[in-house]
Structure formats: C-alpha cells, structure tokens
Structure 1
Amino acid sequence: MSEVQAVQVRGALDARAMSWLLLLCMAWGAQQVVIKLALPTVPPLWQISLRSLIPAFLIIAWARLRGENVLVPDKSLKGGLVLGLVFTIEFLLVYQGTARTTASRSVMFFYTAPFFVSLGAHFTIPAERLSRRQAGGLLLAFAGVLVAVGDGLRLPQWHEILGDLMVLMGAALWAVTTLMSRLTALRFATPARLVFYQMAVSAILSPLSALAAGQPLPLDMDLKAALSILYQSVGVSFVTYIVWFWLVRHYPASRLSSFTFLTPVLGMAASALVLGEPLTPLLLLALALICGGIYLVNRRGPGEAEATPRLLRGR
C-alpha cells in the first residue's frame, strides 16, 4: 500500500512553478512540430503505437516505485477500457489530421478541448453551469474556430481542411475523456491508472490500425525520427505527466490550468520557427479569440469559489 502524505498547497504560483509550467507548455505545444519531423520515416499510426507502448511500461515502473500496481484490475477496469478506446480514436484523428494540415493549425484546433469540456460540463455537472461571462467566453472561442476554418479555405488542397476537422474532432474526444474521468467510477482511479489505461489500450489497437491502413513498418527510422519518438513517448507522455501531477499537489489547480493557455501560442511559434509555416493575420486572430474565450470561461469572477480546472493537463 502506498502512504498518503499531507501536502501543503501554496496559495500562489512562485517562480519555480511558473518555470516548470512554461517548460510544460513548450513541451506540449511543440508536439505537433515533432510529429511532423518524424513523418518522413515513421507513419502517423506507428508514431501513436510507439508513443503509447513506451510510456505504458514507464508508468508501470513508476507506479510500482510509489507502491501502486496498475496491472492489478480494480472496479475501474471496464470504464478504463472504454477510456482507452476513446483516447485511441482521439489520437488516430489527431495524428492523421496533423499529417494532412499544418502543425500550427493542428495545435490550435487541438487546444480547443477546454471549449468542449466547458460545454459538456454545463449540461452534465450541475455545479459547473456556465455564467453569462463564461457563455460569452464560449461564443468568443467558437468565433475563433469559425475564423480559423475560414482561414483554412485559402489552403491549396481540401485534404488540409479535412486535417483541421479531424484534429477538431480529436479535441472533442479529449473533452470526452476528461468528462469521463469526472462523471464515472474513473474519478476514484489514481492518475497513474488513468494514464495507463489510455496508453495500454492504444498500444494494442494502434499497431492493428496501422497494419489495417497499410502503413509500412518504420524500419528505416532516422535519427531525427528516433528523437521525435523519444520526445513524444518519454518527454510528453511520461515526464510531463509526473511534473504536472506534482504541480497539482502543491499549487492551486485552477491557476495551473489557466497558465496552460500558453500552449497553443508556443506551439504556433514553434511551427513558424522550426517548420517555417506562415502565420496569417486571420490565424493569429483565431488564436487570440480562442485563447481569450477559454480564459473567460476559466477565470474566477468576484466572489466565486476556486474552480476545478476544466483542462487537466496537456497531451
């Protein structure tokens, strides 16, 4: 049995917390760029397979060090398998969509997930019904999505718009997994078990999907692709998971969640710097509307209690 230790939660974010949060947002935001870098030698579905398999084993080992055995089934197993299935479909859409559109558009559409979480929570969680200010924030974020879609009409090929829509559907499924973890028996599962369910199911289904889609095995993986897979599987799926939940234990969760709105901003900057992708005025306007709208939804108003963050962590 693992020991439960009392942890003092600080009232505000100090310099150390903000430094870690900035690094996390940079890591999450750069993921679409890293996916693009590996595509020449590692097809998208095989990227998901490796990104899921490696951290699944790391989570098993890390949980055991903390006195938890995620391989022992408990009452959350059935819900966990469904959670893993939804996660797998989510990432199939996101990776296949990212392969079709630009990294900057992918990261922007993917981080509309808080919009869908807030909308879903309004109808399913009585304590999280939206105020007028929050409803206005949702409308602002939705306007940003419409602007981004409109900007996509200038793209030379329709498969890029299809990629946008696939990533957007992936963001909606990310919201589904977030709500599942709060509305079902999964809310009693530990964070390590929740992550393990998603990685383990994806590690089984993603290779089957890759074979069914006829995507070739990544036998000619170059160094750049290998580093990309290492970044996604160890850096994003494992290390950022540990750092994020350490921060959640020591700092107010709603303040941490608000800070993560930097992720799409940093992701689009990385896309421009590393891949040379153009950032059009309309795309920047869409980003501002989406981030501003989601900020209004999550900002605590005068007299309001500390809110539960609607976005748990980056992907």
Structure 2
Amino acid sequence: MSFKHCLLAASVAVMWGLNFLAIDLSLAQFPPFFLVALRFALLAVPALLFVPKPDVGLRWIIGYGLGFGLLQFLFLYWAMAAGMPAGLASLVLQASGPFTVLLGMTFLRERVRGSQMTFLLVAMAGLAVVGWQRFDSNASFLPFLLTLAGAFGWAIGNICNRQSHSTEPIKLTMWMSVIPPLPMLALSLAVEGPNRVGASFTGLTTPTGLLALAGLIYTVVIATILGSGIWSWLMSRNPAGVVAPFSMLVPVVGMSAAFVFFGERVSLGELCGAALVIIGVLGAGLKAAKGARILAAAEVAVPVSAQAEDSDAGDSIKAS
C-alpha cells in the first residue's frame, strides 16, 4: 500500500470520526427518527434519478439497506439523542466487527482461527468495561445498549453486503439508501409526531439550525459519498486486510474531536475499555487478513501441484 493510499485511508478515518460530531449537531435541531429519514432521502432521490441499479439481487439491496441503513442509524441516532456522547458512540459502534464475525460463523459457516477469536474476546471485554462504567444509571446505560444495537444492525448489513458479491460498491451504497427513508418517516410520524417534525423546520436560520444543516450536509456529502467512495476505491486496489485496520482510527478521531470541540470527558475505566476494544478489533482484523492470505496461497498451490502431476503423468505415458 503506497504512502498516498495510506494518507487517503487516514483521511477517511478522520471524515468518519468527525461524522459523529456532525450527527450530534443535527440532533440539536431534528428529532432522531426523522433525521435518519431525512439523511437517506437526500441520498435516495439522486440514486433513483441518476444511478443505475447495481447488478446484485434485490434481496441483498434490501437487507443491506435494512441492516446498515435503517437499523444501524435508527439505534445510533436514538442513542445519541438519549445522551450517548459522540466520542463514545464512535467507539462502541466498532462492536460491529465482532458481531459481523459471529454472524458469519452462525449463518455463513465461516471458520474463525483461535487467535482471531482471542482478539474478539478482548474487544468484547473492552465493551463490557465501557458498559460497566456506564451502568451507574439507566440514563447512561440505555444509550450504550442502543448503540450496541446499532452496531448489530451494521453487522447485518455487512453480511448482506458480503453475500451480494457486488463489484459496484458505490452503486450498492447509493441504492441501499433507497430503503430507509419511508419506513423511518412512518416511524417518526408515529412516535415523534407531525407537530415535532414540523417544529424542527422552524429556526433553521438560527446558529443552532445552521449548524444542524451543516452537520446534515457533512453526513451526506463528506462522510457517506466522499468517505465511502474513497474507502471503496482503496478496497478495490489494496488487500482488505491492509485497508481495514485504518478504520480503528475512527474512534480515536471521534473521541479526541469530541473532547476538543464538545468538552466530552471519559473516565479512566472507559479509556481502558476503549484501548481493549481497539486492540481486539485491530488484532482480529489482522489475523483474519493473515488467514485469508494463507488460504489464497493454498488455493493457488493446489492447482499448480495438480498441473505438475498431470505433466509428470503425460511424460510417463510418452516415455512408455
């Protein structure tokens, strides 16, 4: 992986880390469920008008949209609106990694190496530490659980994305965005009510309203279109195991930026838990990449050996 590609991967991590601050700014103006509908509607309209449908099964587009789009952000926005700090949200959402592995083992019969499972257990232990630190009251523990539910939704989306075997990740991302708007709008009208939704459009010219709009634009344009586009481009040109670990910079950026701009502080226990999560997810990712390289090398070696045997057999026949 070239130095230029490393810089691009790090820049995406920065974009995604700052995205949690942008979400927090938008939630100061818009109710959470409606904000999810609004976010994806801004992506769905241009997708339907200008982006050709990717060549994948419709069920995988729907599954990806329901998991990655609807469930992840429904619970993430709900958690942040209920008091989950932006920095910690960027960390706890990394539980999607272990959840994805567990779902792959359960439904796809994917094999996990013992060393990889050890690192996953370290990451889960880190999440348990963070959860224990948030267990001082329901007001702080409930948002933690909601964020975990968002991470599980992301994992479901990962499995559907993987099963789609798409060679057009940008198109798939755009078309995935078509799924969440209408269900989320219906949920918003039922739970948050038309009055609250309508009231969120008043005061958009105030500092709070302008920051909320800026946060929404950042989430749609910078974090989703630009960030995901660069990430997909890097994934198509480099081994996944080399690119993926850069995502562990996301909670580092998110927690640091939340401290600088919002004054968010975390306890020593939460910092220890964060370190375990980062070490666990990063280690599991590297072990998975190593296992994939070994498997690929074995698959290449088998045909070569078979060809050699066939060649030897042919020579023997000719000699006889």
Q: Is the 8 A contact 1:54 1:234 kept in 2?
A: no
**2:184 matches 1:206:** yes
How far is 1:83 from its partner? 3.0
**2:142 matches 1:162:** yes
Deviations 1:286-306 (A, max 9, x none): 111011111221114897443
How far is 1:180 from its partner? 1.7
1:190 equivalent in structure 2 = 168
**2:160 matches 1:176:** no
1:260 equivalent in structure 2 = 247
Partners of 1:212 and 1:307 lie apart in 2 by 52
How far is 1:182 from its partner? 2.1
1:292-311 paired onto structure 2 within 5 Å: 292-300=279-287, 304-306=291-293
Counterparts in 2 of 1:303 and 1:117: CA distance versus 1, 3 Å: closer
Partners of 2:56 and 2:285 lie apart in 1 by 32
TM-score, length of structure 2 as denominator length? 0.81
2:30 equivalent in structure 1 = 42
Q: Which moved more, 1:197-206 or 1:277-286?
A: 197-206
Q: Is the 8 A contact 1:59 1:192 kept in 2?
A: no
Partners of 1:307 and 1:254 lie apart in 2 by 12
Deviations 1:101-152 (A, max 9, x none): 21122111111111111222233444x4121211110110111011001110
1:106-117 paired onto structure 2 within 5 Å: 106-117=89-100
2:4 equivalent in structure 1 = 16
Q: Is the 8 A contact 2:88 2:251 kept in 1?
A: no
Select the structure that is richer in helix. 2
Q: Is there any run of 5+ residues in structure 2 with no aligned partner, and where?
A: 296-320
Q: Is the 8 A contact 1:254 1:307 kept in 2?
A: no
Any idea what SS the aligned residue of 2:165 has?
A: helix
Aligned length in residues: 284
Q: Is the 8 A contact 2:63 2:157 kept in 1?
A: no
Amino acid paired to 2:63: V
**2:46 matches 1:77:** no
1:228 equivalent in structure 2 = 215
Deviations 1:25-63 (A, max 9, x none): 111112222111122212212221221111223445674
**Quick one: percent identity of the two aligned structures?**
23
Structure of greater Rg: 2
1:312 equivalent in structure 2 = none
1:216 equivalent in structure 2 = 197
Q: Is the 8 A contact 1:76 1:189 kept in 2?
A: no
Partners of 2:294 and 2:94 lie apart in 1 by 20
How far is 1:93 from its partner? 0.8
Q: Is there any run of 5+ residues in structure 1 with no aligned partner, and where?
A: 1-12, 64-68, 309-315
Counterparts in 2 of 1:104 and 1:169: CA distance versus 1, 3 Å: same
How far is 1:196 from its partner? 2.8
**2:270 matches 1:283:** yes
Partners of 2:162 and 2:215 lie apart in 1 by 32
1:6 equivalent in structure 2 = none
Partners of 2:45 and 2:130 lie apart in 1 by 38
